[in-house]
């Protein structure tokens, strides 16, 4: 005699499946947000770390400016501490020297892209884009910047003594 499943057995299996889906599904749906945040952190930190290492390795000051549209970091290298390139002074072909010859745009990686979904909270009164300066002795200067990824706010801070960039979550 063939015996099938009873109604109670079927209901128990369905309840177990609903409980499993209820606990697993929210975690799976949050995963893309977490990946987007981690990607943004990784790209921003690696760009600034690369520039800090370039300054120490080359013995030249490296400047990193947030592009006006906020989609990338623009990198220049200079021997003169006083010389700061504005966005309009960057050459069209980023592999050549500017007309005044005072700075050289790095040929290996003059632009670091920032992932989509990152929005910067900048002061409206700033005349130029934020600038980070990495010195050959390992030191750095630059503002603390707040940015938003997936509706979460983060603070980008560069240590002045070591040049080490760090990202901290800002509580609302």
Does 58 score more than 70 pLDDT?
Answer: yes
Q: Is CATH 2.40.340.10 what the domain over 32-169 is classified as, yes or no?
A: no
What is the pLDDT, as a whole number, of residue 33? Answer: 84
Four-point Cα dihedral 59, 165, 69, 128, nearest 10: -60
Sign of CA dihedral 40, 167, 77, 136: negative
The mean per-residue pLDDT over the stretch 79-101 comes to: 44
Cα separation of 23 and 16, whole Å? Answer: 11
Asked if residue 49 lies in contact with residue 31, where contact means CB atoms within 8 angstroms, the answer is: no
Domain regions of the chain by residue span: 32-169
Instruction: Report the chain's mean pLDDT, rounded to a whole number.
Output: 82
Query: In which band, very low, low, confident or very high, does the pLDDT at 84 lie, cut at 50, 70 and 90?
Result: very low
- The pair phi, psi for residue 114, each rounded to 5°, is -105, 135
pLDDT higher than 90, residue 106: no
> Using one digit for the tens of pLDDT, what is the confidence trace for 112-152?
999 888 999 987 766 678 999 999 999 999 999 999 998 99
**Does the pLDDT at position 44 exceed 90?**
yes
């Amino acid at each position: 005699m063939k015996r099938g499943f009873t109604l109670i057995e079927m209901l128990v299996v369905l309840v177990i499946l609903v409980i499993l889906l209820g606990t697993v599904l929210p975690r799976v749906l949050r995963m893309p947000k977490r990946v987007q945040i981690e990607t943004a952190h990784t790209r921003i930190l690696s760009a600034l770390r690369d520039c800090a290492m370039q300054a120490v390795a080359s013995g030249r000051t490296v400047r990193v400016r947030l592009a006006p549209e906020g989609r990338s970091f623009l990198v220049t290298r200079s021997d003169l501490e006083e010389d700061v390139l504005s966005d309009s002074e960057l050459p069209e072909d980023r592999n050549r020297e500017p007309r005044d010859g005072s700075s050289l745009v790095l040929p290996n990686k003059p632009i670091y892209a920032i992932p989509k979904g990152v929005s910067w909270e900048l002061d409206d009164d700033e005349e130029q884009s934020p600038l980070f300066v990495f010195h050959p002795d390992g030191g750095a200067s630059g503002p603390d910047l707040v940015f938003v990824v997936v509706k979460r706010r983060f603070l980008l801070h560069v240590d002045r003594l070591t040049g080490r960039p760090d990202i901290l979550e800002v509580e609302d």
